[in-house]
Structure 1
Amino acid sequence: MASKITYSSCDETLENQLLAAADGNAAALTALAELLRGASPKQCSQWEAGVKSFWQSGLELVIDKMDSKQLRPEDSLLLGSMLAAGFDSVGMRDRYAALAKRVFSHYRDPIGLTAAIGIRNDALGIAQVYQRWQVIGELKIGAYCYDSSSGVGTIAAIDDLANDVQVQFDRRRSMSLSQFVDSVIVIKDLSLLHEVLSGKHSGKLPPIKDISAALPVSLVAAGAIPDGIVKQLLVPAVLTDDAFARATTAVGGAPKASAVSAPVTNAPAPTVAAPPPGSQRWDHSRSILELCERLKGVTSLKVDSEPTLDNVQRILQQAGIRPDQSDHFALALAMLQKMSGDLGDWLRTTVEYLADEAVIWHNGDTWAEVTDKLPGKLAPFWFKATQIAKGSDYLTTNTLRLPFRLWAQTEKLLGSGSDKDLLAAKVLDALEGKHASADLLMWLWRSGSQAVKDKYLSDSHLIFKTLQLDVRGNYLRAQRDLRRLLLEDEKFHRQVMLNGDRDALIALVRCIKRLPLLDSGERQSLLVKIVRYYPEHIHEVEERRQAPARRAVGKLTSKRSYKQRQEELEHLVNVLVPANIAAIEHARGYGDLRENSEFKYAKEQQVFLASRRQELETSLNGMRATDFSDVEVDGVAVPGSTITVRYPNGKKEDFHLLGLFDSVPEKNMISYETPLGETLMGCKPGMDLTMPSGDNVTVVAVSPLPAELRAWVVGA
């Protein structure tokens, strides 16, 4: 008799269930959800490495086949179980975002909701995302909640367009949805604590120890439950201080602050290491590494006798000329600068002497990379050393290479002297030279003059282009902050639209609709906000203007493309599928399917080939192959015609409108189902069009395809 399948089985039966789920089998999806719910331990991070890896790879296949726009109940059930179990990947977070929109479909701003949950926030672990999800799940008017600064209150109002929550404490307080999730603890409905706070036990309060024991099922919060929470919830909302003291005394002492607090142990206190011997002086170091270590253990550069400064200068000089020691060179100089005191003149002379020799100051990128890795408390002193060595112009020029969070150090250093506007000038030079970055725009938003903001932060194309740049490491923070401003911040929105300027508003709307930065939910959310800010411009948001008349077009493609797809389908059916079947049977012979990479790869290929076959068969079904020779171009753009447009600068460009699968963008050959093809379909000479790129053009002519293209479409 076969043993019952469990979450840790990892055998062929479970693998087949995962493959069936990847094919969309409802029963398999439901069964997998039940296995995850019954797993012990609950969190996959605590499973054996092999078991977790087995599930991770299998679930990746399953979610890859899910339609995010039309999640079925069984899809949602599995995704909920995956989230609770802590499975995480980029693809999974995409599906969790889709699940959030389904579960919280009543919430009118899905982007604000997913931002508050933190689904797309890489800095949040998936367990934190799940906790925040649970807080949102308890969000409703009348719910009890607790804030450390305001005490116990009730949710009074929820604005699901502005993403604001109003809580009635002693006085009403308004906060953003993200702020609410970050800082407020919610008391679950129908829990013991909810009953106590609502007065159902006013005659006889349950024992304090029972209330304390019920905390895990009574409270939901994004972070840890603080110590002393029981008293903070009950005093003075339910009990006085004296009454609470008597209640706790009656049960033999105060209750534990929370059921999730770390247990108290009787472990002995750790011993403190003895300080280094007095002979280990910082100025007697023998290398840059030893100098750094010894400087960490002192608070002043004073020594009992005269410091051996020539030795320190020699160490700095030797380290400065070696690229591999740049990190320690900068660290040592920063610490020396911090504690220089009476040795300030010596250090200034030494730094000036090293200015031309130290390799770290020869390359701006190297300087920025090393500076970004320095401890934050030492950054101001390293900036000062750099200013001494190379001057304020060098410092400000290379500050722009750093993450935005460090720019304040340069601003403080320049102070109110003659160089106080130098950083602003460098920012302006970079923007004029088309070298924008998210860090530049974030500085401009926080510190720039209003005139410069109006010039550059009203350039929607610049903002969207900047957000599409590929950045990494600490530079991601500014890009995430800029994207958050674009999606959520009303003041930023009004700045971009110059407080309702029609041209600026239209430019933003066109970027939102046509540039590939935002998903459909984000587009909808932003457009709704624009209408709410400026209802008088609803027509510009909806872009009600003359549109080309559309003709109904069936499924058609060129004979060339039809033949290519037909040949691919025949090769797949006659060659690839039989070869895959043989590969699966061959791989089975290796035994143990859990460690059988050949079998796993063959099964993945099986899923891919089945999907591709269905795609090809569907696309060819009802398709009409044509060489466009029967197309009559009567001044109206149809598939099989060439459209000539003119840009505002006088430049002309030809676009060739063809059938499905015929797009070759580099040759301006466009399928009629692409965004550009849909814009061109039905247009006539003299019409003004807005291209998906945002460019405004005028249609000059509509003509038949040139001879070389007619030969191409038939495969000649």
Structure 2
Amino acid sequence: MISSTMTEELTQCIDAGKITATAAEKISKLSPGAYCMHRSWGFGRIAEWRLLTDQITIDFTGKKNHPMQLQYAAETLNFIPPNHILALIATDAAAVREKAKKDPVALIRSILMDHEGAATADEISKLLVPSIFDMAGFKKWFDATKKKLKADGHFVVPAKKGAPLELQEEKVEPYRRLLEQFRSARHPKEQVTALDAALKLLQSIPLELEELRMLAQEVQGAAERGGRIHATKAIELVLARDEIAKLNEALMPLEEQVSLASLLATSSKKLAEIFAELPSSKYRRVLEAFPSAFSDRWQESTQQLLRYAEPRLINEIFNLFENQEQHEAFKALAARAIQERSATSDFLKWICSERTNIFPEFINHELFAAILSALERDMHAEAKRGARFRESLFEDRELIADLLKNADIDDARNTVRKIMISPVFGDLDRRSILARVLKVHPDLQSMITGDQDKEISSREESLVVSWASLERRKKEHENLVTKLIPQNTRDIAVARSYGDLRENVEFKSAKEQQSVLLRQKSELEQMLNHARGTNFENPDASVVSIGTVVSLKDQASKEKESFSILGAWDGAPEKHWVSYQAAIGQALLGHKVGDIVTLPAEKGNRSMKIEKIMPFTDKM
């Protein structure tokens, strides 16, 4: 309340023409101690009235003792009531902090009431950060609070990022709100998201049979409409329809206008794309429909899928074979992929992880050779899965020993040679791998630490690379040092602030990433220290050497092919550019026109005759 004296003073200002009656009404609320909001200067507190000089003074957050003319203040300041969240924070931030902890739903309700019933996460964060939370703390708190808001029934929690959180007077059961979202959604992805969330709640809520029947029909209709354009989402909708049918036995069997098998059959060329988008929790149910969808070709379809599958999908494919009593068929498929060197690094990683339970007979030097081939392919393709598998080689302390413990000395020696020439490993990692080999085959000590040390030293002293690739590596190192590693350091600090490091997933993940980044930095620095740039001018074309183009003819198929033998970092399979350190490069170096050479291929080896050797002239 303002004093009668102040009221008289405002009246005098009106009589003197300093301020309008409407403005005076607004100013009367902005008495000293009241809170206000300015569109430019933000939140503030009225410090003093100076009506004789036609002014009031405001303490804004970043602008203390700021004077304003009465009329201008009335036009630009909005009164903030004492129960507004900003006023509460200003008067007792500790109480607001306690409320956020003990009753977050009530705090969100009061914030939404201050904002006419709706506010986005960004708007809420601007109110609470940094006074109540830091940004990391707010995100964690808000994610947890959204779950409570959904369960409360008075809030509409948006699925779309950036959409406002809304407060509603009437309580609506969360599952009904989700079903409303499903019905109003325009995109199949939004339909699936809402429906999956609703189904989790419906497991414990008995609905009338007719309501379930209508819902199943609605979902089926959505699947039919979206099937041609959004195959994955149509499949997920059919899965949801079948889950709805299971909620009441009276709905079974369901009249199906569209089945999971029929959707898969019509999308046979999109299987890799479908499973890339499909949540892993749904892999099994979709795979179970393969025999119906593809009849006697279902094994062929899963084999094609294995070329793109990640470990969880591979495991479910294996389970499908087991359930169909086709264990031996799966083993034959895996054996062929290993022998032909066509197995992906994810498939090989899965085989290694299951080596004691399912595939002990596959754990040998041949599998290790397949692993090197897969990692080299991934390196050229810059595939992340190869990097993950390479890391697992070092994390699994027993794997190398298991792969080589039964190898005879010749096979072990050949494996060491492959490790020595493989571009997959940096020097430190290569030495680590070889040290593990020595534990199993100490007879190779002289080979690894004697003559091979000379080979390592020679290669390190002169790692031949193109100028272009050298520049790329330097930029990669710069990016690591100036961006990725500092960002990782910040991530660790933020994760550490969450507390309880024993169960802090974010902290563990950030620390693991730190190990990867520091290893990459060390490897890059080792390579850069020994790199020698060249433009491949004037190579010795009398034999295959670095900087030459080799034309070859396949002795079996008579097909012709050519390879450019270039620097250590210049491999580009699509251009037939081969690193001199790669298996193909090593097999060709030093040979002359007319020589027959054996080159590794995806399916075994090829016998090739060198027909021509020319200098490399393309631009890098």
Q: Please give the TM-score of this superposition, normalised by the length of structure 2.
A: 0.41
Bigger-Rg structure (1/2): 2
**Scaled by the length of structure 1, what TM-score is found?**
0.36
Higher fraction of helix? 2
